[in-house]
């Protein structure tokens, strides 16, 4: 892949949608480029006394609808191209969910598993020190993403507050509840995806108990969603993490697998009673083999570009729900659509995270905090309403759910950009 191919591929998502919307030239021009891009160097004193310098990034893509919003990821493959692409997707995700935000993203090129906890804290605080003038509660509000968590967000919020010499909880979302985080934020991405799945599947007369599911990616979003589906009666037959996966045609006991992984840092097909876990019969498989399983629902919940034109013909699932950002590239999209496989896009399916981040921001600014039930109920309302709207657009225009989601987002972005005045407004006599 060329250096900028990920962003080019992300931009191609708009091509089909543009045929179904009436946009001003101003809107098209504004959405071609990110509003601002920042690349920083972060020097960190390591535990052994040596100095390492890490590369950090933050991209604010568009702020027409409000301050930008987007996570921060720690990963060895983080690049400016990836961060720009993720910020682009966040712009549409916020528009699709009708949140008063634009899109942003950030990241550091690092393998966090190689750092001690103190090194991780120094890196996190150093990143905020480097980008402090680029973010703010009314400018750009970061959140957690791949390999970042509530504690890291707490360090970042604390560092920003030290720099500003005032407590600023609304600058970062995804914080620990004890220092201004929202109840339900940790499970929000999975919960939002679950609400979307529960809205969509009855339209195909699918009964949970007769519906098989494979989940690629057993991190925060994938593991929680697998458990929600298991509790909802779905038969989760396969899950995987970065090391590989496990499969059982009879179905897996997801709560037991989560418990075992949290305790032992590895995945096993187990059934647990209290603290005693017994390994059950299962098959070991690779992530590639999991993607090709004959299941009803496939859920890519890992990283981008997992399904490409090279393996799209191997996919046997009837429905794909994108919990990861950009797990399917545009070339694979075409193959899957031709094969009659329904793809439900990331900018809708994984939007629960940014939605509850919005709720956290609102709570921080108002000083009024909601119960878990209130948060989940508000999230459900948002996800169900927007899923139904996109489904309706898809049916009325006979287009894919991905194209329908972009049509929905483009209409909202276009309205906001037009509200500030376009060529048509200024040249009228």
Listed as own residue / partner, the contacts of 370-377 with beta carbons closer than 8 Å and 24 or more positions apart are 370/182, 370/183, 371/183, 372/183, 372/184, 375/182, 375/183, 375/184, 375/188, 376/184, 376/191
Cβ proximity of 51 and 339 under 8 Å: no
Distance, CA of 307 to CA of 322 (rounded, Å): 11
| Separation CA 425–CA 326 (nearest Å) | 36
Which of the residues 105, 175, 235, 382 is marked catalytic? 105
Q: What is the DSSP letter of 406?
A: H
- The helix/strand/coil state of 367 is coil
- Nearest CA to 137 among 365, 359, 366? 365
Q: In which element (H, E) is residue 42 found? A: strand 36-45
User: Can you say how many angstroms the Cα of residue 292 is from the centroid of all Cα atoms in its chain?
Assistant: 23
CB 102 within 8 A of CB 31: no
Active site residue 69: no
Alpha-carbon distance 291 to 298, whole Å?
7
Q: Helices 352-366 and 188-200: crossing angle, nearest 10°?
A: 130
Nearest one of 109, 125, 41, 118 to 74, comparing CA atoms: 109
Question: Which residues are marked as active site?
Answer: 105
């Amino acid at each position: 892949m060329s250096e900028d191919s990920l962003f080019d591929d992300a931009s191609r998502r708009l091509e089909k949608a543009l045929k179904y919307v009436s946009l001003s030239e101003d809107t098209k021009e504004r959405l071609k480029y990110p509003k601002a891009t920042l690349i920083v160097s972060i020097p960190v004193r390591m535990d052994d006394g040596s100095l390492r310098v890490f590369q950090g990034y933050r991209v604010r893509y568009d702020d027409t609808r409000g301050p930008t919003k987007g996570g921060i990821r720690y990963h060895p493959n983080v690049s400016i191209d990836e961060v720009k692409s993720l910020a682009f997707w966040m712009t549409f995700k916020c528009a699709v969910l009708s949140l008063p935000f634009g899109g942003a993203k950030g990241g550091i090129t690092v393998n966090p598993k190689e750092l001690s906890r103190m090194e991780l804290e120094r890196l996190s605080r150093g990143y905020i020190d480097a980008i402090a003038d680029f973010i703010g509660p009314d400018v750009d509000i970061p959140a957690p993403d791949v390999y970042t968590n509530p504690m890291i967000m707490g360090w970042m919020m604390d560092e920003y507050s030290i720099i500003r010499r005032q407590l600023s909880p609304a600058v970062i979302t995804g914080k620990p509840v004890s220092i201004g985080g929202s109840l339900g934020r940790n499970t929000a991405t999975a919960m939002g995806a679950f609400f979307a799945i529960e809205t969509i599947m009855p339209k195909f007369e699918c009964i949970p108990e007769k519906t098989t599911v494979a989940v690629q990616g057993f991190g925060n979003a994938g593991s929680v969603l697998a458990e929600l589906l298991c509790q909802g009666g779905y038969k989760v037959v396969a899950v995987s993490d970065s090391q590989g996966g496990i499969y059982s045609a009879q179905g897996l006991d997801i709560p037991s697998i989560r418990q075992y992984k949290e305790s032992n840092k590895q995945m096993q097909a187990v059934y647990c009673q209290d603290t005693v876990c017994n390994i059950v019969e299962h098959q070991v498989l690779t992530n590639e083999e999991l993607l090709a399983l004959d299941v009803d629902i496939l859920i890519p919940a890992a990283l981008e570009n997992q399904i490409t034109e090279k393996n799209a013909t191997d996919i046997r699932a009837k429905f794909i729900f994108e919990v990861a950002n950009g797990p399917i590239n545009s070339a694979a999209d075409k193959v899957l659509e031709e094969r009659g496989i329904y793809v439900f896009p990331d900018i809708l399916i994984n939007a629960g995270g940014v939605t509850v981040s919005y709720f956290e921001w609102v709570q921080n600014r108002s000083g009024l905090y909601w119960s878990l039930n209130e948060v989940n109920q508000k999230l459900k309302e948002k996800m169900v309403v927007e899923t139904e709207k996109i489904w309706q657009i898809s049916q009325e225009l006979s287009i894919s759910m991905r194209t329908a989601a972009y049509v929905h987002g483009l209409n909202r972005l276009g309205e906001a950009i037009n509200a500030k005045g376009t060529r048509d407004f200024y040249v009228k006599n």
